[in-house]
Structures are given as structure tokens and as C-alpha cells.
Amino acid sequence: MKEHLTGMLLVISGPSGVGKGTLVKWLMSRDPSIVFSVSATTRAPREGEVNHRDYHFVTEEEYDRLLAEDAFLEHATVHAHRYGTLKSEVEERIAKGQNVLLDIDVQGALQVMEKAPDAVSVFILPPSFEELERRLRGRQTETEADIERRLANARAEVKLLPRYTYAIVNNDLDRACQTLEHIVLAEKQRTTRYLAALTEDE
């Protein structure tokens, strides 16, 4: 049997504090075919960061050119610096059979889904807003104003759940991890990504 496998674009998002980072880290430790795309940014490299490995570091002029060429799947301005996911970066990796994971906010995810409708999108939900608030407070990294803002954002983001392909409630971490892994395994076998051609026995 001859097999041909192309990769997928996997978009994971959800409210701040819901546990996306933990799920993503677990999934990538289990599946070496999953990679992060390397984003472009206008900010300067931090100590230890390497161009084209951690980010594609570009000038404001280069970023403007990429924006004008519609080169981004999604882009945003964060803390006065601009970031963007390059279409070419994602397409090249997918063509190699790699599965590209984007851990991005809801607004970025919606941009990706519009430009890449075949993307597999997963929304991570908290079991309740009360539990989400407990987790945010437990991190002890945000001010009261930050917590209130994140909770308000979460209520708005959850309303966009129907735009996603899948939803996972992160109530039990082991179960949530297994559910995410099952989604990825099933999506790998879609005939749009996995082609098997039977050959005659010699």
C-alpha cells in the first residue's frame, strides 16, 4: 500500500486561564509531527532568541510590505509591536506532512478560520466562569482590574464557540488531553489529508 500524508493547521484558543498552554505542551510532547509556526514580528530579538528559529524579525517597513501583500493568516498589535502568522510558513510545513499548531486568541483564530477554512479549530472551555475566576486568582499574576477584564473577555469569547470545529471542557486535565489527542488522530485520517492507494500483491 502506498500512503501520502499532508499536514493540518490546528488552531487552539479559549479564555485566558483556561489551561491552553498545558494542553498544547502535553500534545506536542506526545506527537512529534506537531510544530509551531514561526511568526513574524517587528520587536527586537530578546537575549537568546535566534532569527528564523524563534521569530522572523522584520522591520516596520518589511511588515508593512507583508501586510500589503496579504501574506498573513492572522496579525495583531501587542504592546506596541506587531506580530503575524505567515501563510508561506504554514503552507510549507503542511506540504511536508507536518501539523502546524497555532495557540492564539479568539480574534486571531477567527482571522485564520476565514482565510484557511480547512483549519481544525478547537475551543477550550472552563467548567464554569466561577472556576475560571478561581484559576485566574490562583495564578497571583494579575491585578484585580486584570482579572475583571479577562473574565469579561471570556464571556464575550465563549459566545463565539459555534464558530469552532470542536470544543473541549477542561474540567479534568487527563480527560481533556485525551480528547484533544483523539481529535488530532481523527483529523489526520481525513481523506483530504490521508490518501492510501492499494497495490497488487506480487
Specify the CATH number for the domain of residue 190: 3.40.50.300
Q: Is residue 134 part of a domain?
A: yes
Q: What is the mean pLDDT of residues 134-147?
A: 85
Q: Is residue 47 part of a domain?
A: no
The model carries a pTM of 0.84
Q: Is residue 202 part of a domain?
A: no
State residue 103's pLDDT score: 87
Q: Is residue 72 part of a domain?
A: no
pLDDT classification of 85: cutoffs 50, 70, 90: very high
Q: What is the mean pLDDT of residues 109-127?
A: 94
Specify which residues 195 forms β-bridges with: 4
Q: Is residue 83 part of a domain?
A: no
pLDDT for residue 201 is more than 70: no
Helix residue spans in the chain (DSSP H): 20-30, 60-68, 87-95, 106-115, 129-139, 144-158, 173-188
pLDDT for residue 69 is more than 60: yes
Q: Is residue 89 part of a domain?
A: no
Q: Is residue 74 part of a domain?
A: no
Q: What is the pLDDT of residues 166-195, one digit of tens each?
A: 999 999 999 999 999 999 999 999 988 887
Residue 174: give the domain boundaries: 2-37+98-197
pLDDT for residue 113 is more than 60: yes
Work out how many domains the chain is built from and give that number.
Answer: 1
Q: Is residue 59 part of a domain?
A: no
